[in-house]
Structure 1
Amino acid sequence: MLLQPTSSKSSLSFHHQNQNHALFKQPIIVTLQTHKNPSLIKGSSISKSNTHETVDYEKRAISKWNSISRRISMLENPQMGSASVLNQMENEGKKLSKWELCKVVKALRKFRRFKYALEVYEWMNNRGERYRITTSDTAIQLDLIAKVHGISSAEEYFLKLPDALKDKRIFGALLNAYAGARMREKAESLIDKMRKRGYACDALPFNVMMTLYMDLKDYDKVELVISEMIEKNISLDIYSYNIWLSACGSQESLEKMEQIFERMQGNTTITPNWTTFSTMATIYIKCGQLEKAEDCIKNIESRIVGRDRIPYHYLISLYGSVGNKNEVHRVWNLYKATFPSIPNLGYHSVISSLVRLDDIEGAEMIYDEWLSVKSFYDSRIGNLLLGYYVRKGHSEKAKTFFNQMIEAGGKPNSTTWEILAEDHIRERRISEALSCLQNAIFPEVSKSWRPKPVNVSSILKISEQESDMASRDALFEVLRQVGCIDDEAYMSRIRA
């Protein structure tokens, strides 16, 4: 799984990352084995705050920017925008410094409030006599424009900038936007321009390109980028090595992966981090080397620093993948003892692992615990138990649990409906299954959903056996609505 300090997803920050480059989310490569074919996913980069003593006025300043970001995030009417909060504070006689506003932007970006973050910069831009906008600020604005208004708007913004202002950070912001949108040709063209200007002189832009190639599953190109860096004496950083390891893992090349790790250990400027060992553990799991995987997992825990929750999620999931239930429970208890609150993602990781380990009693107990502390109902967590009941053939329990999800405030997403469809398919209730698939089209949070080819194939098979052409036609209408009919690769999997 390719985790890009977003998010992913979803964003993990690293202690030696230059603050001027904080915009360009360096990739963390971690592959989680939750089924036979691990997927590459993007996650995100969570900033770690420095822990040092502060005097009282610093504490007040921190409280101030944090209060501003919260007030903006919690606007009841999003149309009012960030400016309404900032104007109100100034009207109350509270002067806002550039440092405070940049901290507000950082907090809003961390929680993916990109529109609000961009509006803070627009507010500062309108007060140019008070706030000096640097090239780093410009690069962040370009990134936000791409996220809020799309790539074409970011390109227009870039073209309007004076050439003298277009340094490597601003080029890097556009490169990052292209890579995030998987625009391969534009990204490759832009990095060529960066090479000619002398801007491709450190690992950062090459890491962005390798992340793009990982997303596109073009692992040979990752190797070519690494070769170029070595040839040009561009030092590989921890991210470069982690991507390289992940590329080898995606090709199940254990020997090459171990050679890269040895090279990494021989580099006195690089210290393997928890992501390194997560990546290697996953590759070992994928290749059935569970003993080596456990050795890597043990190395993760000793490398967790600061107040970072994300490594615990990986620890729990990896121990679940190697079948170590005791360690899943131990790390979960350690996680709860370390932090006063656990996000939904943490509950998802532990329940998912326990379901995979067939410890349904443990999963149900933690689910009940989550119900008592949740701030909102995340259907992805409920889906874990619902899917287990359906797979085990507990139709009545699945039906009861689904109703309980709704009563607890859950809104079924596309996965929820497809899980219910699978129960109907097993019982050959094709009309009900098709109704569930039709419902799966509409949830807003599942716009990219497509039915599993195995479910489509099963419905087609039953329809043919029962000469039910109406159901067959209804299924193809679902496929048409979600854009599967014109996808040759998808349709070939159904025919197979």
Structure 2
Amino acid sequence: MRALRQTAKFTRNHNAKVLISRFSPASSHKPCNSSNYAEGNYARYQNITRGYVFFLYKSSSSSRPFLGCRSLCFNMGNTTNKSEHNGTFPNQDSRGSDNTGINVVNDKVAVVVSDDIFESDLEEDLVQISDNPLDSQDAEMASCDAEGKNPTSPLFKILMKAPQCSVKNILQKWIEDGNMVDRGEVLVTLLKLQKLRLYRKALQFVEWLEATKCLNFTEYDYASHLDLVAKVHGLQQAETYINKIPESFRGEIVYRTFLANCVSRLNVKKAVEVFNTIRDVGLPISTFSCDQLLLLYKRVDKKKVSDVLVMMEKESIKPSIFTYRLLIELKGNSYDINGIEQIVEKMKAEGMWPDLMIQSMVVEYYIFAGFSEKAEAALKEMEGDDIKENRDACKFVLPLYASLDKASDVERVWKVCEAKPRRGESLAAIEAWGEVGCVDKAEEVFEKTLKLGNKVSSKFYDALLRIYAKNKLLFEGEDLVKRMKENGYKIGPSTCDALVNLYVGVGEVNKADLILQKEARKNGIRPLHSSYMTFLKEYAKRGDVNNAENVHQKLRQAGFRNRMKLHELLLEAYLNARIPAYGFRERMKADNIFPNKKLAELLAAVDEFRMTQIAQSVELDDSLSYLFKTPVAVS
């Protein structure tokens, strides 16, 4: 654990692309009270950013991967809470007391969303934070189910058709018609509703289940209800609901669900309070809860990551695979390759072999740090003796070979999959061919995927659109978006982001802004952080201070927090406009932003314009001073 604690000894924040994947829990369980699921294997679908578990049927022949960690979601319709550290951190103090904590009242922390791992800027984190913790492709597949393209439950169909104002009445009538509520069907229905982000309807469904006592609620059921209340109504009402849960069911699962929601909103004060409550009521501290604190402090105060690791070591809490992924990400963001390798060795010593996702993370950090030979050696290890026998590795190694600009290896690996590609492999191949500049081959894979049948995820369209944007193929990009709409796809935040890059790349900045505003209003979406940053980078390059400041204001209004990169770009706009940035230091201080080396250099550079203006003003005053001299009387 000492090696892991060293992860927190750095504070530098570099832009990097971070990967998070699905994972398969080691254990499987049968769902309770389900007569319809007597045969077959059961997969435990666990969303590690939430406090509940779904039990779903998985046939023996299915190769569909388990749901796993994605990013935490924001509260739909609510503004992220502005919070500071205030309270105690769960740990022992210097006197050895078991229930006291490290005082963090006086710490000043800039509460920011860390560079989102699903966007190019590192806020663009384990939060990019995406608005949906579940995979968007799964959501679209659920949408296909709702349209009747795949078999689905009658209960889900009824809920999809029901108006939001009459969900409970329709459910009651359904029961009166002689239908039965089955636990397995209920859990499948809830999962699909959440995939489609129909949180309010899912909440009404759960409230009806609890009120009518159609099911005997367990702690997991109460935790699911709590999670939906937090999503729809916010943390305050979720906390009120906890007090309504019977005390016998108010266990660690319930509290850690609430903790995960506090973390997703970056509410440090409330998260620490909930963690201490788990300890105070005598419940065990799980690895899940510790991972949530690590995720929180990774975003708001990396120095406190070591405090969590110390506490885990003292209380003999073993790190999970997610713990190691977080620590590798932290090391990777500081380009600490030796630190990454120590963490991997620590994993192996603990009997936890790095999975393909962790191996791909390590390779990507090798590439970012310029260790190409190490990256190639690690890629060969990921492939194994025969890539054909290790097919699962294909979708991971394709984009990595592309990052190394090895088109021959991309082609070699793709040939293994080409005859009968899986969707994940096809998406990876499109992105890889685009990375190495083979637009025609990316288009070929895209068209082949569409011909396989069934509605594919919008991710495929977005991937090809980004390739067009990178290569400034405006007309091809516009045709693709038109085709996308004709095929019934809605324009989401990711597609808007690709469109912004397309138009900004060819110099159509105003058109990009108009399209973003139009699609955001039409589809009720919040643009991604990276979309705003694309505009900001362009305005900074042009020295367009007014528009750069407008983008900064839009970022604030959209709920995104200020970060170092944002202030750097604003200063670059002032620098390229050759005008002083009056009051900029005070603005940074108000935002809890402390300048790094690059920011300090930019501040010094724009200060020179202020001194130039002062010197010019003094010279002007001297040259005009004769006008204000008192005339001397002639005797």
TM-score (normalised: structure 2) = 0.59
Aligned to 2:170: 84
Q: Does the CA contact (< 8 Å) of 1:454 and 1:494 recur in 2?
A: no
CA deviation after TM superposition for structure 1 residue 112, in Å: 4.6
What residue in structure 2 maps to residue 71 of structure 1? 157
In the other structure, the counterpart of 2:615 is: none
1:178 lines up with 2:262 in the alignment: yes
1:167 deviates by: 1.4
Counterpart residue number, 1:8: none
Q: Confirm or deny: 8 A CA contact 2:328 2:340 kept in the other structure.
A: yes
Q: Choose the corresponding residue for 1:155, options 218, 239, 256.
A: 239
Paired position in structure 1 for 2:252: 168
1:278-335 Cα shifts (integer Å, max 9, x gaps): 3322222222223433444455567xxxxxx997654443343333445545655656
1:493 and 2:569 correspond: yes
Indicate if the aligned counterparts of 1:191 and 1:205 stay in contact, CA closer than 8 A.
yes
Which position in structure 2 is the counterpart of 1:41? 126
1:275-286 equivalences in 2 (<5 Å): 275-286=357-368
In structure 2, what is the equivalent of residue 219 of structure 1? 302
Task: Indicate which of 298, 301, 321 corresponds to 1:238.
Answer: 321
Q: Tell which has more relative contact order, 1 or 2 (C-alpha 8 A, sep 6+).
A: 2
- Residues 180-199 of structure 1 aligned to structure 2 (within 5 Å): 180-199=264-283
Alpha-carbon deviations, 1:185-217, whole Å to 9, x = none?
211121122223343433121112112223x15
Change (3 A) 1:100 1:400: closer
Matched, 1:257 2:340: yes
Alpha-carbon offset, residue 369 of structure 1: 3.0
Alignment of 1:134-145 (within 5 A): 134-145=218-229
Cα contact 2:458–2:489 (8 A) shared by 1: yes
Unmatched tracts of structure 2, length 5 or more: 1-16, 31-43, 51-67, 72-115, 136-150, 385-390, 573-635
* Counterparts of 2:513 and 2:186, CA distance in 1: 51
1:249-281 per-position Cα deviation (integer Å, ceiling 9, x unaligned): 22222212211221211123x343233323322
The AA in structure 1 aligned to 2:210 is N
Q: Secondary structure at the match of 2:357?
A: helix
Secondary structure of the structure 1 residue equivalent to 2:440: helix
Deviation at 1:394, TM superposition (A): 4.4
What amino acid is the match of 2:354? P
What is the RMSD computed on CA atoms of the aligned residues?
A: 4.3
Which structure carries more helix by proportion?
Answer: 1
Select 1:125's aligned residue among 207, 210, 214. Answer: 210
Q: Which of 445, 457, 466 is equivalent to 1:366? A: 445
CA contact (8 A) 2:472 2:502 kept: no
Cα distance in structure 1, aligned partners of 2:428 and 2:302: 28
- 2:542 and 2:321 map into 1 onto residues whose CA distance is 52
**Which residue number in structure 2 is paired with residue 25 of structure 1?**
49
- The partner residue of 1:317 within 387, 396, 399 is 399
5 Å matches for 1:275-354? 275-297=357-379, 313-329=395-411, 342=423, 348-354=427-433
Does 361-370 or 328-337 show the bigger shift? 328-337
Q: 1:411 to 1:23 in 2, by over 3 A?
A: closer
Listed as ranges, the matches of 1:377-396 within 5 Å are 381-395=460-474
Aligned CA distance change for structure 1 residues 329 and 118 (closer, same or farther; 3 Å): farther
Compared with structure 1, are the counterparts of its residues 224 and 379 closer, same or farther at alpha carbon in structure 2 (3 Å cutoff)? same
SS of 1:362's partner is: helix
Conserved in 2, the CA contact under 8 Å of 1:82 and 1:116? no
Higher CA-based Rg: 2
Distance 2:310 2:244 in 1: 35
Residue 97 (structure 1) aligns with? 182
Deviates more, 1:259-268 or 1:434-443: 434-443
Q: Structure 1 461/135 Cα, relative in aligned 2: closer, same or farther at 3 Å? A: closer
For 1:356, which of 430, 435, 450 is the aligned residue?
435
1:15 — aligned with what? 26
> How many Å separate the matches in 1 of 2:417 and 2:169?
39
Paired with 2:172 and 2:360, the residues of 1 have a C-alpha distance of 42
What CA distance in whole angstroms lies between the structure 2 residues aligned with 1:103 and 1:437?
35
Alpha-carbon distance in 1 for matches of 2:504, 2:541: 14
501, 518, 526: which is aligned to 1:447?
Answer: 526
CA deviation after TM superposition for structure 1 residue 152, in Å: 2.2
| CA pair 91-380 structure 1, distance change in 2 beyond 3 A | same
Q: TM-score, normalised by structure 1?
A: 0.73
Q: Which moved more, 1:435-444 or 1:160-169?
A: 435-444
**Aligned pairs, how many?**
451
Partner of 2:37: none
> Shift of residue 142 of structure 1?
0.8
Q: Deviations over 1:25-50 (max 9, x none)?
A: 3875999899686842357568xxxx
- Map 1:51-70; keep pairs closer than 5 Å: 66-68=152-154, 70=156
Stretch moving more, 239-248 or 379-388: 379-388
Q: Specify whether residues 482 and 386 from structure 1 end up closer, same or farther in structure 2 by C-alpha distance, changes over 3 A only.
A: same
Deviations 1:68-125, CA, capped at 9 Å, x for gaps: 454246426454437635742x445343333443444345445554444434432321
1:147-201 CA-to-partner distances (Å, cap 9, x unmatched) read: 2332222111013334444211111111111112221221112112222334343
Equivalence map 1:391-406=2 (5 Å): 391-395=470-474, 397-398=476-477
**Paired residue secondary structure (2:360):** helix
Contact 1:33 1:282 in 2 (8 A): no
Q: Distance in 1 between matches of 2:123 and 2:372?
A: 16
Inter-partner Cα distance in structure 2 for 1:399 and 1:158: 50
Q: Percent identity?
A: 20
Is the contact between residue 377 and residue 409 of structure 1 (CA under 8 Å) also seen in structure 2? Answer: no
Give the aligned partner of residue 414 of structure 1.
Answer: 496
Partners of 2:70 and 2:455 in 1: CA distance: 30
- Which one-letter code corresponds to 1:190 in the other structure? V
What is the deviation of 1:410? 5.7
CA shift, 1:358, in A, is 0.7
